[in-house]
Amino acid sequence: MDVTVNRFLKILLAILFLAALIWVLIKLSNIITIFIIGALLAYILDPITSFLEYKGLTRMQATSLVFLALALFLFLFIYFFVPLVIDQVKVIQHSFSSGQGTEAIRRMERALKENIPLLKNANLDITTKINEAINHFSNSLFSLVGSLISLITTLVVIPFVVFFLLKDGRNIKKGLVSIIPNRYFEMTLNLLYKTDQQIGGYLRGQFFDAAIIGFLSIIALWILHVPYFLLIGTFAGLANMVPFVGPLTGAIVAILVVFLSNGTINQMIMVAAAFGIIQLLDNVLVQPLVVAGSVQMHPLIVLFAVIIGGQFWGIMGMFLAVPAAAVIKVLVVELYKMYLSFNTSS
Amino acid sequence: MKEDSLWTNIFRKQSSEETDTLNVLKKIPLFQDLSRRELRQLERILHQRTYKQNEVIFNEGQPGVGMYIIDSGEVHITLGPEKKVLAVLTKGDFFGEMALLLEAPRTASAIAAKPTKLYGFFQPDLFSILETFPRTGNKILLRLSQMIAERLRHSNLENQELRKKLNSLTKREH
């Protein structure tokens, strides 16, 4: 009798503890997200710091140098890029409120109805749908940014997290590994190493790939005089992380914008060709160089991960979904391999 | 009068502990070419582990990824379910170095015969030192190859001896 009561108490305590832990995690989810973003950035920058260390700098000097370069880049980015983006967003808002945009959409609706017989009698009502979508998008943007205070906290905390994880990450990892019981220690160390090998390549590859594609898209759209080229190019770069659908979405958005801004068919074809060439360059040159040797993710898995991430955590969830899915995949595969090799040996 | 242990001893102990670790590492053939600075780089990477008496360090047949160096205590290398002791290792000895190069099942078990402190040096650590401090890494790698070449030469000689004995035995049977 006594034993069952004890057991019951233990289970109850465990459940209470778990509930408390989940409650704390949910309450701290903002801070945890900031920490995860910082950790990801530090992880992406780690090879550069290690390279500088290999060139003879101490870890502290190497980290400071990377940080200075990053600060300079961010400063230039905010100084030149952000005002341009804000201008472009203002232009979009203006064109919608003045009815210019709505007129263009009505024109598109008419053209669609005339050219596709199936839609002749359908009530498309694209204007309302686009307005809804824009509202939804700006709402989720606001929820991402949150209040000004949390924005400032984020901007201060993320660099701190990145700096210390970059400088002391190795020692922190060693400290955490030292807590692991002797029995599982060697296995865990190996698992960490293998995960790092595959995820590191994948994440850095995706990050640099997105940056290159974004940069190329911006240049191409700028040359072709597409309005809002900065916004569309950035979007195309980010969307490129989702295979197949991403690049296509980028191209469609660009063509749509050309269409809405009274562009010629010729200009639309040129934009489509530019995106085609960028994709070709990406597949032939960039992808094999930066993504090779890392974890292979099936496009379907990436797509589902992005949808699930978006469903639960909004825009931030969409960006963090791909790395999270990669980590889970490698962990499961490696754990299974280890389970097999340990089982056959004992 | 009693000495103020809080201040004087702590620093003395720390520095002597550090030199002690470096001395232990310096005696390992694998690290004997390293300078003091390089040994300190290595020490930062090594994992310090403590084992209770009779605690298993690794089991025969399990996949291994690295070597252990004994800082203090005693380790028994055993074989088979009857735990036949193959070797008794003490401070400054090392074992499992083949796993640094080859991720293969352990060929024997290692058990701490006394409370033991070990330094673990694993494949990921070797790769990381090769990337960050290639000079240090190369020195370790060169030593490792020499040790393995020496072991190969030894087993070749043994192999030849055994073959000779086998030949003479088969001749005698005929």
Model confidence over A189-239: pLDDT tens digits?
A: 888 888 887 787 778 877 888 888 888 888 888 888 877 777 788 888 888
Task: Flag whether pLDDT at B160 surpasses 60.
Answer: yes
Give CA–CA dist B77/B113, Å, rounded. 10
C-beta neighbour count of A137 within 10 angstroms:
11
Give CA–CA dist A206/A320, Å, rounded. 12
> Which residue has better confidence, A299 or A293?
A299
Is B137 at the interface with chain A, CB within 8 A?
A: no
Give CA–CA dist B117/B17, Å, rounded. 13
Tally of domains within chain B: 1
Tell if the CB–CB gap between A193 and B47 is shorter than 8 Å.
Answer: no
Q: Lowest mean pLDDT of A79-88, A180-189, B51-60, B162-171, name the range.
A: A79-88
Task: Flag whether pLDDT at B14 surpasses 60.
Answer: no
A197: closest chain B residue by CA: B124
Two structure tokens written together for B100: 């640094």
Is A190 at the interface with chain B, CB within 8 A?
A: yes
- ipTM, two decimals, is 0.72
Q: Band the pLDDT of B115: cuts 50, 70, 90.
A: very high
Tell if the CB–CB gap between B57 and A182 is shorter than 8 Å.
Answer: yes
Minimum distance, in Å, between the CA of residue B69 and any CA atom of chain A:
14
pLDDT score for B13: 47
Percentage of chain A lying above the pLDDT 70 cut: 75
Q: Band the pLDDT of A293: cuts 50, 70, 90.
A: low
Query: Which residues are registered as beta bridge partners of B56?
Result: B111
pLDDT score for A17: 92
Tell if the CB–CB gap between B51 and A182 is shorter than 8 Å.
Answer: yes
Q: Which of A167, A182, A195 to mutate to test the interface with B (most CBs of B within 10 A)?
A: A182
Q: How far is CA B157 from CA A273, B41, B136, B152, B163, in A?
A: 69, 38, 32, 9, 10
A337: closest chain B residue by CA: B63
b/e map of B146-159 (b: 16 or more CB within 10 Å)?
eeeeeeeeeeeeee
pLDDT score for B53: 92
Model confidence over A252-271: pLDDT tens digits?
A: 888 888 877 777 788 888 88
Q: How far is CA A251 from CA A232, A271, A276, in A?
A: 9, 8, 9
Q: Lowest mean pLDDT of A327-331, A339-343, B11-15, B126-130, name the range.
A: B11-15
Residues on chain B touching A185 (C-beta within 8 angstroms) = 47, 49, 120
Minimum distance, in Å, between the CA of residue A331 and any CA atom of chain B:
17
CA A321 to chain centre: 7
Residue type at A256 in one-letter notation: L
Two structure tokens written together for B174: 């005929």
Average pLDDT for residues B146-172, to the nearest whole number? Answer: 90
Q: Band the pLDDT of A133: cuts 50, 70, 90.
A: low
What do you get for the CA distance between the two ends of chain A, in Å?
A: 38
Residues on chain A touching B47 (C-beta within 8 angstroms) = 174, 177-178, 185, 189
CATH number of the domain that residue B20 is part of: 2.60.120.10
Is A184 at the interface with chain B, CB within 8 A?
A: no
pLDDT score for A67: 87
Tell if the CB–CB gap between B65 and A190 is shorter than 8 Å.
Answer: yes
Average pLDDT for residues A156-163, to the nearest whole number? Answer: 85
φ and ψ at residue A261, rounded to 5 degrees: -95, 30
| Cα B117-B123-B125 angle, rounded to 5 deg | 70
Average pLDDT for residues A97-118, to the nearest whole number? Answer: 65
Give the domain range for residue B133: 5-173
Two structure tokens written together for A101: 């945009």
Model confidence over A308-322: pLDDT tens digits?
A: 887 877 767 777 787
Phi-psi category of residue B121: left, alpha or beta, with phi > 0 → left and psi -120 to 50 → alpha? beta
Residues on chain A touching B105 (C-beta within 8 angstroms) = 341, 345
Tell if the CB–CB gap between A189 and B105 is shorter than 8 Å.
Answer: no
Residues on chain A touching B127 (C-beta within 8 angstroms) = 193
Question: Taking Cα atoms as reference points, which of A140, A155, A148, A199 lies closest to residue A38?
Answer: A155
Question: Taking Cα atoms as reference points, which of B105, B103, B2, B36 lies closest to residue A342?
Answer: B105
Q: Which of B100, B121, B131, B138 to mutate to test the interface with A (most CBs of A within 10 A)?
A: B131
**From A178, A182, A189, residue closest to B124, measured CB to CB:** A189
A193: closest chain B residue by CA: B124
**From A53, A182, A189, residue closest to B122, measured CB to CB:** A189
Residues on chain A touching B80 (C-beta within 8 angstroms) = none
Percentage of chain B lying above the pLDDT 90 cut: 23
Q: Band the pLDDT of A96: cuts 50, 70, 90.
A: low
CA A172 to chain centre: 25
Model confidence over B71-97: pLDDT tens digits?
A: 889 999 998 888 888 889 988 888 888
pLDDT score for B116: 93
Is A65 at the interface with chain B, CB within 8 A?
A: no
